Amino acid sequence: MSNSSSESLRRENEDLRSRIGHLTEIVEELKQDKQALRENANHWKEKAAGLKAEMTEEISRKDARIIELEMLLDSARQSTSNLLPSAISSKALGKQKNTDHEVSSSREATALGKRKVDTPSSPPRAIKRYRTLPGHQEPSEPASSAGSAPSCSEALNEDYDAKSGISRPIIKYKEEEAFVLPPDLIAGYLRDAPALEIRPNPSGLHVRRDYLRLLLTGSDMHFFQKVEAKKNPSGSEPRTLVFPRFDLNPAMPLIPGESGLILSKRPEVLKYSPLGLFRRDMSGEEEAVWQYLGEYETKVVGMMTGELFRQQNNKVQRAWAKTILKQKGHQAYRMVKVRISLRKRGLPIPSEAESKKPSDAVTTRGKEKGKKKEAQEDKDQGWGDVDEEDIIVSSLTQKLYRVSK
């Protein structure tokens, strides 16, 4: 009896082992299937990522092409609108010698008067308050009746030319924002940086910044636009473009080859030299388009002193005080507030070299946590007690960078 029981248990044990072996094989097969599915999933993920990148690049190319076509269409519309009045006026001014010609001419004029001319509708633009640089004369041509913003005259200012030795177009600038530099000061800084005459005349093409962003990468909202080496059309090195506003920098270059001055507290103006310099369109149009002036070397040639700041219009002083208070993430502007706060409390003021050292928060600048850490650091140190009046009383100073070809 015991032998039969042992035999039965032995058979059951062998049967269980056989089943376990079979299940083990099934488990191994399932593991292999799982691995194959995982590899397949990774393959499709990589393929999807590649397709996404291709689609993104294709969309960027199409967007750039659309912007380019829109600009061509606008140019064609402007050309058409400029040609049509000329054709009509030439018809109207022609005098006929006989009655038959007068009749045919009147019929032609009637036909032209009835002809419908489709023109793109646009809302009227509000005229902003502008003033001209010291010594500038208003354009002799009467203002256009189209109701557009004030336009730039091509006439040259004799007084400015005599004092600075530079012939420049008359430009308009915002009274409440622009620093005004004396012509003799400008002439002194630019005396050994003559303008470079370019033959033949460079292209007058103007482009929008979003087009440049799609074409070259980088930001279209900042003072600097960084171009990656692989996107640089003129070389294999990274490149930096700069977009100063002439209403904030009245002495900046306005035409290709011309030297000029840029006011800034940003050390990157010198660090990123040479810079691809762009100048905004001077026609007064609402849409911002920019012209490329060339590659410019930069050099620190002086300071806009506190005395010169105090001589500026009160609106200018307040506008720049607000700008300094609103700036986030730029060490140079942050240190203005730090130094004023320390001076108010009678504490030691760091040297210029110490001011250039970034704080722990600034090392993560551009990230949200870095901004929060910087704000907390300012709060802990009590540097948030600076207001507009403090900046005005302390007299903001800025470096004068000369840009030249």
- pLDDT truncated to tens, each residue of the chain (405 aa)? 567 778 888 888 888 888 898 899 899 889 988 988 988 888 888 888 888 878 877 787 777 777 777 777 766 666 555 444 433 333 433 443 444 444 444 444 333 333 333 333 333 333 333 344 443 333 333 333 333 333 332 333 444 454 445 456 666 666 666 778 888 888 888 888 887 877 777 788 888 999 888 888 888 888 889 988 888 888 888 999 999 987 778 788 888 888 898 888 788 888 888 999 998 887 767 778 899 998 999 988 888 788 888 888 888 888 888 877 777 667 777 777 777 777 777 777 766 655 555 554 444 444 455 556 666 666 656 556 677 677 677 766 777 777 787
Domain ranges in the chain are: 130-137+148-301, 310-397
Q: Rounded to an integer, what distance in angstroms lies between the CA atom of residue 363 and that of residue 374? A: 10
